[in-house]
Amino acid sequence: MSSIILFDAETRNHLLPLTYARPVGDLRVGILTVREKWEMYLNQPVSFLTREYLTELFPTASTEDNLLINGSVLPTADLTGKLSDLEPGQGYERNGELIAARLDKEGLDKMAGENALDSIDTTDLGNQPLPQLRRPADIFCLNDAALREDFALLTAGRKSAEPSVTNTIIGPRENLFLEAGVKLEACTINLENGPVYFGRNAVILEGCLLRGPLAVGEESVLKMGAKIYGATTLGPRCKVGGEVNNVVFQANSNKGHDGFLGNAAIGEWCNIGADTNASNLKNDYGEVRVWSYPEGRFAKTGLQFHGLVMGDHSKAGINTMFNTGTVVGFSSNVFGEGFPRTFLPSFLWGGAGGVMTYRMDKAVATAERVMARRQVDFTEAHGRLFKAVFAESEKHRKG
């Protein structure tokens, strides 16, 4: 049996700042991460081939026979079936981009070293439908379809725990699934537009108004009176309140109080302060332009609705106001009155009133305290990751 490895292609740079701290295949869209989806489709563990500074936290588990899959590609039944047809040295591409390949150890080493693909005999997949993450906006744009697919994967042949009679359930009951240990009382859940999934030991406090498709991850908390529209995902161990519409929280992040967040992608270990609001629609209803890391400028998105993108370990103080399409990098601390710039680089401290570089020792100390609250150790490997991201992102702070 081949080892399954998700590799980072050039798309990784288009998905910054969310891929500063993880391989592309560790991004969450729907209920599951890309890796978790492939593990369910292929019924075996999956590892990563990623940037060198990430390998301590995301190692590659290779053998003499390796099936490599582009980490930005979401699995489909058709593509999964085609993978079993690959012989060593063969692969699939689409529009000149490698989608999958079966490689021996020597071929894998070449790919890891120089991304050398000349020796792979590739077949063009043509116009085959292939859901793929090419930019942060795809995480919330594809979330509706991904939620439905993951719901079907996770609940097939299983029986949901029963919700309390204190809740008001609207729509088809088969669209609701509660894992063991869920606490759910006095909430209104509308299932007419899509499924709602509550992960193990999730806590949904009274008065929440929820509309599918929606996923609340393991041990996550919805605060009292939260208003959550689909398609929204709370990854594991998040705390969310206020008004949220079509947002994906990767994991371990907080937006615990009132304030609006819509059409957004939020990384891990983030905190969004009370009464923070992030616009997702321009006043003139025009197309939103968003910072592009590869282009080094603001680029058209083709979208009318595009809210906040926030990298891992970043924070927003109370009453922060984010303009439409704002991008916040890794480990930045944004605060103060007025609208800050719509591109805030990594390791930034401040807001509209002025910014400075966030000192590394201060950023690390904050991360240590934040992670400890979730009983997660900040290791030496995490420290090296911080230093690597600081160095990689320095050019944006100087711009």
pLDDT of 331 strictly over 80: yes
CB neighbours (10 Å) of residue 126?
Answer: 7
Cβ atoms of residues 3 and 47 within 8 Å: yes
Q: What is the per-residue pLDDT for 111?
A: 74
What pTM was computed for the model?
0.95
Q: What is the per-residue pLDDT for 180?
A: 97
C-alpha distances out from residue 369 to 63, 329, 376, 386, Å? 38, 20, 10, 15
Q: If you average pLDDT over residues 43-68, what whole number do you get?
A: 95
Q: Which of 193, 195, 188, 191 is nearest to 222 (CA)?
A: 188
Q: If you average pLDDT over residues 128-157, what whole number do you get?
A: 96
CA of residue 336 relative to chain centroid, distance? 27
**Where exactly are the structural domains of the chain?**
3-133, 137-398
Starting at the earlier edge strand, list the strands of the sheet with 221-222: 183-184, 203-204, 221-222, 239-240, 254-255, 271-272, 315-316, 333-334, 348-351, 354-357
CATH number for the region 137-398 comes to 2.160.10.10
C-alpha distances out from residue 396 to 18, 25, 174, 361, Å? 15, 25, 48, 20
Tokens of 80: 């999964």
Q: If you average pLDDT over residues 137-151, what whole number do you get?
A: 98
pLDDT band at 105 (very low <50, low <70, confident <90, very high): confident
pLDDT of 267 strictly over 90: yes
pLDDT of 367 strictly over 80: yes
Percentage of the chain modeled with pLDDT above 90: 92
Q: If you average pLDDT over residues 100-122, what whole number do you get?
A: 78
pLDDT band at 332 (very low <50, low <70, confident <90, very high): very high
The DSSP symbol for 51 reads -
CATH architecture of 3-133: Alpha-Beta Complex (3.90)
Integer Cα distance of 366 and 380 in angstroms: 15
pLDDT of 116 strictly over 60: no
Q: What is the pLDDT of residues 15-31, one digit of tens each?
A: 999 999 999 999 999 99
Integer Cα distance of 273 and 167 in angstroms: 29
pLDDT of 113 strictly over 60: no
pLDDT of 118 strictly over 70: no
Q: What is the per-residue pLDDT for 112?
A: 64
Q: What is the per-residue pLDDT for 360?
A: 95
Q: If you average pLDDT over residues 278-297, what whole number do you get?
A: 97
pLDDT of 49 strictly over 60: yes
pLDDT band at 243 (very low <50, low <70, confident <90, very high): very high
CB neighbours (10 Å) of residue 61?
Answer: 12
Q: What is the per-residue pLDDT for 399?
A: 60
Q: If you average pLDDT over residues 96-120, what whole number do you get?
A: 79
Q: What is the per-residue pLDDT for 117?
A: 61
Q: What is the pLDDT of residues 161-216, one digit of tens each?
A: 999 999 999 999 999 999 999 999 999 999 999 999 999 999 999 999 999 999 99
CB neighbours (10 Å) of residue 380?
Answer: 9
